[in-house]
Amino acid sequence: MNIEDIEKRASPTKVSDSVYLNTLAQKPGSEAVSEGRQVRSGRPAAVCLGLLCVLLLAVITGLSVTHNAEREQLWNRYNNVTVERDQLLDANSNLTLERKKLQSSCEVLTRERDALRRNLSDYERLFLQEWKQFGSSYYYFFNKEKSWSAARQDCRERGADLVIINSREEQEFIKKENKYVWIGLSDAKSEGQWKWVDESPLSTAFWRSGEPNNANGDENCAVFSTTADTLKAWNDIPCSYEAGWICESTQPYVRRLQ
């Protein structure tokens, strides 16, 4: 073996560096070819990665802005709802107070109403026991004795007045009681001008025979006397005399209280 053979065995490139390199370049899978391709295909990947990063950043930024806006809106809404809730709570507590006040007022009124109903019921019973109805009027026949003016005053205090007799039927109704009682007829204001207590003149009259005679010049008030003749019962006597009386009310208490 000579020196040249020994050199060939130690370094095959010794033959020719360029030839050797070319040989390497032509062999697929060799290291030199692989590094060169990596350098050339790395740029688009980096660009894509960069673009992806930018896109991702843009998406994240957009989502963040949207999220912040929504959060802001929700926060505002939360605040508004909180204010409304507080207002409603205030209103509710005011209404609760009002309701309690109304409930206690209602209870008081209910008690008063029940008491009034009891009184009314008592009054009604008494009224209907004492007052007699004829037509659209109620009549009370008083057995006590008073002057014509005092008797009239008594009737007025009861929301009534001395009886006014407008018809034969009413005359007959009163005659059934057969009592000596004042009626609401007088000529005290003008002698001979007989008028009822409501200032109306006589529409029909049921005087006793010879009456009214203004005996002794002092008889200005009329009584319903106890005679046999129903249609001849009235007499004029002095107003200061005392007699029973009849009150008449077309609108008795019992009606007005309801």
Q: Which amino acid is at 179?
A: K
**Residue 243 forms beta bridges with which residues?**
146
Out of 219, 220, 248, 252, which residue is the one contacting ligand 2F8 (CB under 6 A)?
A: 219
CB atoms within 10 A of CB 145: 15
Q: In angstroms, what is the minimal distance from the CB of 154 to ligand 2F8? A: 21
Helix/strand/coil for 3: helix
Q: What is the DSSP string of 103-170?
A: HHHHHHHHHHHHHHHHHHHHHHHHHHHH-EEETTEEEEEEEEEE-HHHHHHHHHHTT-EE----SHHH
Write the interaction track for ligand 2F8 spanning residues 223-252; mark x where CB under 6 A is met and - where it is not: ------------xxx---x-----------
Q: What is the DSSP string of 25-67?
A: HHSTT-HHHHHHHHHHHHHHHHHHHHHHHHHHHHHHHHHHHHH
What's the CA gap between 234 and 211, in Å, rounded? 7
Write the interaction track for ligand 2F8 spanning residues 182-211; mark x where CB under 6 A is met and - where it is not: -----------------------------x
Q: In angstroms, what is the minimal distance from the CB of 209 to ligand 2F8? A: 9
Site for ligand 2F8 in 93-122 (CB under 6 A): none
Q: In angstroms, what is the minimal distance from the CB of 161 to ligand 2F8? A: 23
- Summarize as ranges the residues that interact with Ca ion (CB under 5 A): 211, 213, 215, 219, 235-236
Picked from Ca ion, ligand 2F8, none, the partner binding residue 105 (CB below 5 to 8 A depending on kind) is none
What's the CA gap between 53 and 56, in Å, rounded? 5
Q: In angstroms, what is the minimal distance from the CB of 151 to ligand 2F8? A: 15
Out of 76, 213, 226, 250, which residue is the one contacting ligand 2F8 (CB under 6 A)?
A: 213
Strands 161-162 and 243-249: antiparallel
Picked from Ca ion, ligand 2F8, none, the partner binding residue 92 (CB below 5 to 8 A depending on kind) is none
Residue 229 has phi, psi (to 5 degrees) of -85, 110
Nearer to Ca ion, 86 or 242 (CB): 242
Nearer to ligand 2F8, 186 or 235 (CB): 235
Q: Which residue is nearest to ligand 2F8 (CB)?
A: 237
What's the CA gap between 90 and 81, in Å, rounded? 14
Nearer to Ca ion, 220 or 235 (CB): 235
Residues lying near ligand 2F8 in the complex (CB under 6 A): 211, 213, 215, 219, 235-237, 241
